[in-house]
């Protein structure tokens, strides 16, 4: 027969798993465990030490024993991360932050790339149904449009999978945690900075099939309206995932040339969906003999390395260091422990030219 402390640790492990289901993140005190299981304090301490050694709990001096979220089956400690890209734009640093944070807590993220394509997304979700992860981080595909894969998300939910959304959220899952940009507030900041610089004829280029693009357009229009500045429709240009794919894979900038020709004729400044578009637009404008920022000032979201690359500097806004990667990873960790994290909108800060 196993020693008493091992028997107790096995029973406490069952309690830990049930607590995760019930959203309880802490074990009873040593005194409470002694009374509940009618064992000595020494037996309780040996049991807790064994659970800590195996990574199921962490002890905090003066506070007690807290559940880490780890399962005995190591395959249950792998997290599925569903994102639009892995190697483009800001994704390498984003995924590195998520991996770094989770690995500190001995969880392993497994990355799945959709390419912002709902057909690819469906294939990934179908595979995940065969071996459902405990938590799925989701960056939605074409999140401004109806999603054809909600049935698979519902099936995953029925199998006990918890969702954390990144950048956007499918409306069918309003109670799930979402870590996203304050898109409306970001547009307001950019408009305010451009107005301070003397600009009133401001255009905008936004992404039409992702929720971030719609929200950034909304924020832009509200900020301009509040400043009593008109925005004729011809100053607004739209692009989509297909345009971005052609840009990244084939270096095709024709859509940006057309946007500049059709929408910036009477603008002295333009707000772009992100740094990637702003950077490529700056190059197109220079081909058209415009001086940036003298003839037209460019402002955009994200503050990546592209914002100061060579001679294409433009106004940009940024999050704090390691956002949104660390907050998203922390929300995942909490879900693994059975704790729900309130949704979060990340504020922006102006970084200037």
What pLDDT is stored for residue 85 in this prediction? 93
What pLDDT is stored for residue 89 in this prediction? 83
* 3-state DSSP assignment of residue 122: helix
Give me the DSSP letters along 207-224. Answer: ESSSHHHHHHHHHHHHHH
Lowest-pLDDT range of 75-84, 115-124, 128-137, 301-310 = 301-310
Pairwise CA distance, residues 110 & 284, whole Å: 38
Among candidates 179, 126, 177, which has minimal Cα distance to 156?
126
Query: Which stretches of the chain are DSSP H helices?
Result: 4-22, 30-37, 41-53, 91-104, 118-130, 150-158, 183-196, 211-226, 241-250, 254-263, 275-287, 325-336
DSSP-derived letter for residue 305 is G
- 309 and 193 in a single domain? The answer is yes
- 128 and 209 in a single domain? The answer is no
What pLDDT is stored for residue 83 in this prediction? 98
Pairwise CA distance, residues 132 & 110, whole Å: 12
Q: Is residue 90 a contact partner of residue 302, using CB atoms and an 8 Å limit?
A: yes
In a domain, 353, yes or no: no
In a domain, 123, yes or no: yes
Percent of residues, the chain, with pLDDT higher than 90: 87
Lowest-pLDDT range of 8-12, 22-26, 311-315, 348-352 = 311-315
What pLDDT is stored for residue 305 in this prediction? 78
List CB contacts of 160: < 8 A, sequence separation 6 or more: 132, 134
Among candidates 292, 319, 302, 280, which has minimal Cα distance to 216?
302
Q: Which residues form the domain of 55?
A: 4-67
- 174 and 188 in a single domain? The answer is no
27's tokens: 């074990």
Could you give the count of Cα atoms lying within 13 Å of 288 in the half-sphere of its Cβ? 21
- 194 and 230 in a single domain? The answer is yes
> Looking at per-residue confidence, does 159 or 23 come out higher?
159
CATH code for position 45? 1.10.10.10
What pLDDT is stored for residue 310 in this prediction? 60
**Boundary residue ending a domain (35, 67, 99):** 67
Band of pLDDT at residue 73, cut at 50, 70 and 90: confident
pLDDT average, residue stretch 162-189: 97
- 132 and 60 in a single domain? The answer is no
In a domain, 172, yes or no: yes
- 129 and 99 in a single domain? The answer is yes
In a domain, 204, yes or no: yes
Burial class (CB in 10 A: 0-12, 13-18, 19+), 25: middle
Q: Give Cα separations from 58 to 28, 61, 63, 247, 268 (angstroms).
A: 13, 10, 11, 48, 57
- 285 and 203 in a single domain? The answer is yes
pLDDT average, residue stretch 45-49: 94
What pLDDT is stored for residue 63 in this prediction? 86
Residue 75 has pLDDT above 90, yes or no: no
**Boundary residue ending a domain (16, 34, 67):** 67
- Mean pLDDT (the chain) is 94
Percent of residues, the chain, with pLDDT higher than 70: 98
Reported as a single tens digit per residue, the pLDDT across 179-238 is 999 999 999 999 999 999 999 999 999 999 999 999 999 999 999 999 999 999 999 999
- 130 and 146 in a single domain? The answer is yes
What pLDDT is stored for residue 352 in this prediction? 64
Residue 312 has pLDDT above 80, yes or no: no
What pLDDT is stored for residue 42 in this prediction? 95
Give me the DSSP letters along 159-184. Answer: TT-EEEEES---TT-TTSEEEEE-HH
In a domain, 250, yes or no: yes
φ and ψ at residue 148, rounded to 5 degrees = -80, 0
- 98 and 176 in a single domain? The answer is yes
Pairwise CA distance, residues 255 & 247, whole Å: 9
- 310 and 225 in a single domain? The answer is yes
In a domain, 302, yes or no: yes
Reported as a single tens digit per residue, the pLDDT across 262-275 is 999 999 999 999 99
What pLDDT is stored for residue 52 in this prediction? 93
Name the β-bridge partners of 137: 81, 164
Residue 257 has pLDDT above 90, yes or no: yes
Q: Give Cα separations from 264 to 22, 232, 235, 270 (angstroms).
A: 56, 11, 6, 8
CATH code for position 136? 3.40.50.2300
In a domain, 101, yes or no: yes
Residue 308 has pLDDT above 80, yes or no: no
- 146 and 196 in a single domain? The answer is no
Cβ atoms < 10 Å from Cβ of 197: 14
Residue 353 has pLDDT above 90, yes or no: no
Give how many domains the chain has, as a whole number: 3
Reported as a single tens digit per residue, the pLDDT across 234-245 is 999 999 999 999
- 313 and 273 in a single domain? The answer is yes
CA 342 to chain centre: 14
**Boundary residue ending a domain (24, 44, 67):** 67
In a domain, 84, yes or no: yes
List CB contacts of 193: < 8 A, sequence separation 6 or more: 299, 315, 350
């Amino acid at each position: 027969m196993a020693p008493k402390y091992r028997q107790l640790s096995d029973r406490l492990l069952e309690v830990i798993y049930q607590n995760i289901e019930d959203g309880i993140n802490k074990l009873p005190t040593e005194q409470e465990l002694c009374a509940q299981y009618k064992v000595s304090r020494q037996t309780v301490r040996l049991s807790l030490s064994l659970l800590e050694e195996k990574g199921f709990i962490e002890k905090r001096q003066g506070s007690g024993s807290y559940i880490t979220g780890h399962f005995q089956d190591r395959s249950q400690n792998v997290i599925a991360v569903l994102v639009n890209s892995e190697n483009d734009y800001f994704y390498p640093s984003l995924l590195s932050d998520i991996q770094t944070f989770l690995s500190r807590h001995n969880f392993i993220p497994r990355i799945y790339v959709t390419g912002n394509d709902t057909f690819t997304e469906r294939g990934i979700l179908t595979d995940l149904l065969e071996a459902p992860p405990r938590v799925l981080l989701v960056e939605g595909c074409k999140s401004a449009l109806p999603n054809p894969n909600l049935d698979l998300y519902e099936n995953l939910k029925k199998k006990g999978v918890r969702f954390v959304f990144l950048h956007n959220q499918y409306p069918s899952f309003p109670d799930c945690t979402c870590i996203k940009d304050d898109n409306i507030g970001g547009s307001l900041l950019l408009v305010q900075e451009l107005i301070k610089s003397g600009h009133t004829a401001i255009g905008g280029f936004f992404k039409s099939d992702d929720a971030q693009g719609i929200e950034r357009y909304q924020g832009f229009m509200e900020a301009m309206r509040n400043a009593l500045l008109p925005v004729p429709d011809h100053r607004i240009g739209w692009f989509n995932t297909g345009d971005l794919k052609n840009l990244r894979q084939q270096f095709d900038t024709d859509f940006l040339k057309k946007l500049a020709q059709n929408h910036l004729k009477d603008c002295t400044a333009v707000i772009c969906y992100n740094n990637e578009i702003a950077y490529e637009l700056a190059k197109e404008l220079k081909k058209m003999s415009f001086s940036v920022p003298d003839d037209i000032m460019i402002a955009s979201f994200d503050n990546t390395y592209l914002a100061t690359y060579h001679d294409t500097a433009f106004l940009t806004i940024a999050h704090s260091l390691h956002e949104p990667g660390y907050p998203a990873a922390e929300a995942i960790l909490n879900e693994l422990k059975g704790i729900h994290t309130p949704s979060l909108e990340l504020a922006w800060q102006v970084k200037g030219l």
